[in-house]
Structure 1
Amino acid sequence: MKRNTIITISRQFGSGGRTIGKMLAERLNIPFYDKELISLAAKESGFDEDVFKNADESASSSLLYSLSLGMYSSAAGRADGLSGMTLNDRIYVFQSKVIRDIAAKGSCVIVGRCADYILADNPDAIHVFVHSDMRSRLKRVIERYNIPAEKAEQLVLKTDKRRATYHDYYASYKWGRAENYHLALNSDFIGLDNAAEVIAAFAEHRASKDS
């Protein structure tokens, strides 16, 4: 039986990783998840979507304490088991459950939200990191978000720091280090469309080896 193709995309801010993920999903004709995870996690948790949208990607020590008590496994989908956690930790738990459920249903592309770590033990998952040089990232951020050039670099650095801090708190390995991913691509060097093509070819080659 043909295995699923689950691709997680981690990315530097402004590298075009989300766009690549969207193009990749269209190329492979499989579902794409990014902000859609917010709606799914909100439905799973019973919280309003704004709670997920407004929560900072910051970590606290309470999740580690909860894990040590075995609360994670017993809490999936049940708010009573999460009473000892902060709001951000609860959000992480519900998003983790949604990501695992999505991956269990079939092939898909998932952008961000620690999906690489959450699905680290999933044999069908391919984990990709997209990066780019600062000049290209600044240009993309200025054009996409229509912000002044003098503020763009601060936004890029702050967003990357927040993503790394969030990821590294929950994960057991460092965000952005090539050895922690199956594939790392420089989107400026290769181009967004070609990046999607390379990832698709990588996934198809892997699937052919397993068939």
Structure 2
Amino acid sequence: MGQFIISVGREYGSGGHYIASILAERFNVPMYDRNMLDQLAERNGIDAENLYKHEEMKRQGLHRTVRGHSSSVQDSIAQLQFNFIREKAESGESFVVVGRCAENVLRDNPALISIFVRGEEDAKVERISRLYKLNRIEAKAKMFRHDKKRKAYHNYYSKMKWGDSRGYDFCVNSSLMGVEATAEALYSMLSTYLKSKEQ
């Protein structure tokens, strides 16, 4: 099988991260999410906690840009992650990447298959309540807060709008079949697609 890169964008509570981890496991390839910050911190001699505070956030306040370099810490971390994704793609490695505008960063790469996972509000709130031991009101607030941040980040750094089906190869509602069954259906579909590319 040739190189393939699966990018997974997701609504908070949709199980998109878990689906990405199942796909990485089934295809036996690495998954990059927040863990890329640990590698970047080690490579650049930075404390990873400082990176975690600002990841997947758009630029805050007023900052100068000089010769294409921004003084914004959010911009710097975003660009570090985008370069990391490009570097992994250029190395010929197959992998799964969660978020980080990967479907935009790698949009011209023929190995890319982009997925967006959404879900019904009730199902997402139930999942968040269960995972984080929150009541429904707290879970709903957490969901809106995270989605607002993700949308702002994505739309700041990408040409396509977050969650717009035209920007992805596959858009799926994980509430219809449940998270595990959605992951298996995607695995089956992607396997068929990758095999067809080889013929």
Q: Mark yes or no: TM-score above 0.5.
A: yes
Cα 1:61–1:125 change in 2 (3 A) is farther
d(CA) in 1 for partners of 2:23, 2:63: 33
Counterpart residue type for residue 190 of structure 2: A
Higher share of residues assigned helix: 1
Q: Does 1:113 align with 2:115?
A: no
Q: Does 1:144 align with 2:131?
A: yes
Q: Does 1:36 align with 2:22?
A: no
Alpha-carbon contact 1:40-1:98 (below 8 Å) kept: no
Unaligned runs of 5+ in 2: none
Q: Which moved more, 1:85-94 or 1:35-44?
A: 35-44
**CA root-mean-square deviation:** 2.0
After superposition, where does 1:24-173 map in structure 2 within 5 Å?
A: 24-55=23-54, 57-60=57-60, 65=65, 69=67, 71=68, 82=69, 84-105=70-91, 106-173=93-160
Unaligned runs of 5+ in 1: 72-81
Aligned pairs, number: 196
- TM-score (norm. length: structure 2): 0.90
3-state DSSP of counterpart to 2:29 = coil
Q: Which moved more, 1:93-102 or 1:175-184?
A: 93-102
d(CA) in 2 for partners of 1:29, 1:157: 33
- TM-score (norm. length: structure 1): 0.85
- Find runs of 4+ consecutive structure 1 residues off by over 3 angstroms: 60-66
Post-superposition offset of 1:61: 8.1
Post-superposition offset of 1:40: 1.8
Post-superposition offset of 1:62: 7.4
Q: 2:164 aligns with which of 177, 194, 200?
A: 177
Alpha-carbon contact 1:8-1:128 (below 8 Å) kept: yes
Alpha-carbon contact 1:44-1:94 (below 8 Å) kept: no
Deviations 1:158-202 (A, max 9, x none): 110110000000001100011110001110102222222222223
d(CA) in 2 for partners of 1:94, 1:62: 20
Deviations 1:38-79 (A, max 9, x none): 11222343321011111161325879956xx4x3xxxxxxxx
Q: Percent identity?
A: 30
